[in-house]
Every structure is written in C-alpha cells, then in structure tokens.
C-alpha cells in the first residue's frame, strides 16, 4: 500500500524491531492483511518490538473505532503496549508494542521539535545465558576422558629433558591442556542447584515433587486421595533425606577419625555452631601505621622462645668426653627415588584440599597415577641422583 511504510530491523538472531508509519485510513487494513507475516515472526523470534506512528488512538477510554480491534489483534500475538501516554494533541498515536522477556524501558519525550512527541525504547540485551538471574555456572571434569588422554600422551620430550625446571613446566602444561579440553561447563538454574553434599539429583527431584504435591493439596484440601498420597510421599521423602544425611555424616567422621581438629569442625558444621572469628583490629592499633603494628607483633612472637629460655637456669656443664665422637661427617647423600615411592606419594594426596599453583587437582593425578609415575620419577631422579657435598670445619 502506498500509504504505509515499514522497516524490519534484526537486532540479533533472536530479536527483531518492526517500524511502521501508517495513515489513519491504511493502518488497520495493512496490519490485518499481514497477519501471516506477523505470525511467522511471532513463532520464530524471541523478542519483538513494533514501533511507529500508527495513527490509532489507544489511550484509556479512547473513542477510536479501530482501537479495540487493533489491540485485540496484537495481544493475540503476545504484543502488549509499552505506554498509553499522549503523543499528539492529547491522543496516543505513536505506539511501542513489545513481546519480550528482556528488561525494557519506554519513554515519551515532551519536546516541540515536531508536532508528535518522540518515543524511545531501551532494551537491555543479555550477553548469553551467564547473565540470567538465578543461574549458576558449574564446571565439571570428564575424569574418564582425562585419564584416557593422559594414559596415551607422549612424554618423550619430558623424559629427554635434562633441565628439571623445563621438564616440570612441560609436564604441567601437558596435564593442564588435557584438563582444559575435558572441562564441561553447565548452567544450572537456582531451582535445580544442589547446595548440600548428601543430596543427589534424584533426591532433589523427589523434594520438588513433594513440594508440588503439597501445593496441589493446599488448592484442594478436601481431596482425600490427594491427602493420603501426599502424606505417604512426604514421609518417604523425609525419611530418605534423614537416612542419606546420617550416612554422609558418619562417612565424614570415619574419614576424620585420626584428626581431632577435623572431627570438631564436623561437629560444629552438624550442630551449626561455627564460631565467627573477628579480625584482629586491636593489634593494628598498636602503632601509627599498619606496617609498624605488624612488625611489632612479629617481634613479640619471635622473642617468645628467647625470653622463656632466659628464665631457666643454665644446666651444669658435663665434661664427659665419652659422649663425644671424634668422627665428623663431611658429606651426605641423596639416594635416587624409585617409581614405587613416587606412586605411594601420589596416592597419599588428599582429594579434599585446594590445588597448588599448578591448578592440578589431586584426584586427576591419582586417577592417572600409572601413566604419570614414569615421567615424574625420571626428572626427579635426573636432578637428585647421587650428589656429594663436602663440609669444612671452621
């Protein structure tokens, strides 16, 4: 139609803005005739913004005969008005219709530049799903893939390297590259986030189902079948929760049976009686600046042993030459390390500790222990093979 102008703009692959100008006699017929086009856009596009001078008054209590049909048609496509404010001569003729989940701001700028007030739309585009509210990014490792790649990796360069620093950095790079290639990043919504270590994904679904049944019962409290089903399911779910929690706590106590400090930490966690430590602000007030206060505190602790020793009387000098040996050791030896000892040390690493500067988890080293023992033993042995150091008496 000659009396209608329209422009479609792709903001990105999921968002489209449609701009229109219609004369009062052409707008209704144009929009109705393009029903199929709008339905295709509605089905395939996540966010739609329809903006323009439509010349149909949609303000509250409008007397325009096309207003109700126009609003009903667009609302059936999920397009709702962004504002109902007057834009020309007290009538709302310039429209912004939206169908989006993005944060949006609509403004009508009151200015005398033209006979219509300009309208403005601001959409906050999200850079991927990582910015969604209530989302949590969880990074997991494919341990089977890591073990397979480390077992089949080529360590010949590391085995032939004589410089231990270069060999160490090369081995760390090989392991970190394998870990990075087997990282799986998953976005978990807040609804399905597991915050307790004893709760499994299956148990979380059980909890969600229990809560949904409770909501259904609140809507229909007189339903005897629903009430009986909910009570049985609730008791089963709660019993399963208590059983898994008890088993987890027993396992934690078993692991910490030889560590009293760890046992008490578990007790505080179970009883929720963790003591919050306050920062030592009083110690920082001992001097005019923080550095002087810290040095003063350090000097105090350094002198504790010396001060205690000075309070005890000196022991009598025993002149028993039989307790002295004339043999003076003038050397020491570093024996070569073997693969058995390296493997034993790797398997003794704790899984519940933080990684070191190399960012390699202990569980990765332990799972691929058989493949890593040989290169580690090789470059350690090359640097610590039988050395003799002489000592001189002064």
pLDDT of 166: 84
Q: Output 241 or 7, whichever has higher pLDDT.
A: 241
Asked whether the predicted pLDDT for residue 261 surpasses 80, the reply is yes
Question: At the topology level of CATH, where does 4-123 sit?
Answer: Deoxyribonuclease I; Chain A (3.60.10)
> What gap in Å lies between CA 75 and CA 280, rounded to an integer?
62
Residue appearing with tokens 């009986």: 228
pLDDT of 389: 47
pLDDT of 11: 58
Q: Which residues touch 234 (CB under 8 Å, ≥6 apart)?
A: 210, 213, 214
pLDDT in tens, 191-244: 777 888 888 888 888 999 999 999 999 988 889 999 999 999 999 999 999 999
Which strands form 94-99's sheet, in the order they lie side by side?
A: 4-12, 15-22, 47-53, 94-99, 80-81
> What gap in Å lies between CA 186 and CA 139, rounded to an integer?
6
**Collapsed DSSP state (helix, strand, coil) of residue 392:** coil
CATH 3.60.10.10 domain position(s) in the chain: 4-123
CA separation (Å) from 245 to 79, 126, 173, 196, 239? 49, 39, 40, 9, 10
Type and span of the H or E element at 12 = strand 4-12
**Confidence band for 387, pLDDT divided at 50, 70 and 90:** very low
What values do phi and psi take at 80, rounded to 5?
-120, 150
pLDDT of 134: 46
- What does DSSP assign to residue 276? P
Residue appearing with tokens 């609003």: 71
Asked whether the predicted pLDDT for residue 35 surpasses 90, the reply is no
Q: What is the largest distance, in Å, between two alpha-carbon atoms of the chain? A: 123
Asked whether the predicted pLDDT for residue 391 surpasses 50, the reply is no
* Alpha helices (H) along the chain: 27-33, 35-44, 67-76, 143-151, 156-160, 164-181, 201-219, 224-255, 260-271, 281-284, 290-302, 304-310, 339-347, 362-367, 369-384
Q: What is the pTM (predicted TM-score) of this model?
A: 0.44
Q: Output 19 or 70, whichever has higher pLDDT.
A: 70
Contact 170, 162 (CB under 8 A): no
- Arithmetic mean of pLDDT over the chain: 79
Asked whether the predicted pLDDT for residue 343 surpasses 70, the reply is yes
């Amino acid at each position: 139609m000659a009396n209608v102008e329209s422009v479609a703009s792709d903001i990105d692959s999921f968002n489209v803005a449609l701009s229109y100008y219609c004369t009062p006699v052409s707008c209704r017929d144009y929009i109705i005739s393009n029903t199929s086009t709008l339905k295709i856009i509605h089905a395939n596009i996540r966010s739609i913004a329809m903006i323009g001078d439509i010349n149909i008054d949609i303000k509250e209590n409008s007397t325009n005969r096309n207003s109700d049909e126009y609003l009903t048609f667009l609302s059936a496509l999920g397009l709702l008005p962004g504002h109902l404010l007057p834009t020309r001569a007290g009538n709302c003729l310039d429209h912004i219709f939206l169908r989006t989940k993005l944060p949006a701001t609509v403004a009508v700028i009151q200015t005398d530049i033209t006979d219509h007030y300009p309208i403005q739309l601001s959409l906050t585009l999200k850079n991927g799903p990582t910015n969604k509210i209530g989302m949590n990014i969880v990074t997991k490792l494919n341990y089977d893939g890591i073990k397979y790649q480390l077992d089949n990796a080529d360590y010949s360069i590391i085995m032939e390297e004589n410089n231990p620093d270069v060999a160490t950095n090369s081995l760390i790079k090989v392991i970190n590259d394998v870990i990075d290639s087997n990282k799986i990043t998953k976005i978990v919504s807040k609804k399905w986030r597991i915050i307790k270590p004893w709760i499994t994904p299956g148990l979380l679904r059980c909890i969600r189902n229990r809560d949904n049944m409770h909501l259904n019962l609140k809507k229909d409290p007189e339903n005897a079948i629903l009430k009986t089903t909910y009570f049985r399911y609730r008791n089963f779910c709660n019993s399963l929760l208590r059983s898994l929690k008890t088993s987890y706590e027993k396992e934690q106590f078993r692991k910490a049976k030889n560590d009293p400090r760890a046992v008490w930490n578990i007790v505080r966690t179970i009883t929720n009686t963790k003591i919050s430590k306050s920062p030592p602000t009083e110690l920082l007030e001992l001097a005019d600046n923080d550095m002087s206060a810290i040095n003063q505190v350090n000097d105090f602790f350094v002198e504790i042993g010396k001060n205690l020793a000075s309070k005890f009387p000196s022991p009598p000098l025993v002149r028993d030459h039989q307790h002295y040996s004339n043999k003076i050791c003038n050397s020491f030896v570093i024996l070569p390390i073997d693969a058995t000892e390296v493997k034993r040390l790797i398997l003794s690493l704790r899984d519940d500790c933080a990684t070191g500067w190399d960012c390699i988890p202990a569980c990765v080293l332990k799972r691929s222990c058989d493949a890593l023992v040989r290169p580690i033993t090789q470059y350690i042995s090359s640097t610590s093979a039988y050395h003799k150091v002489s000592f001189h008496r002064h």
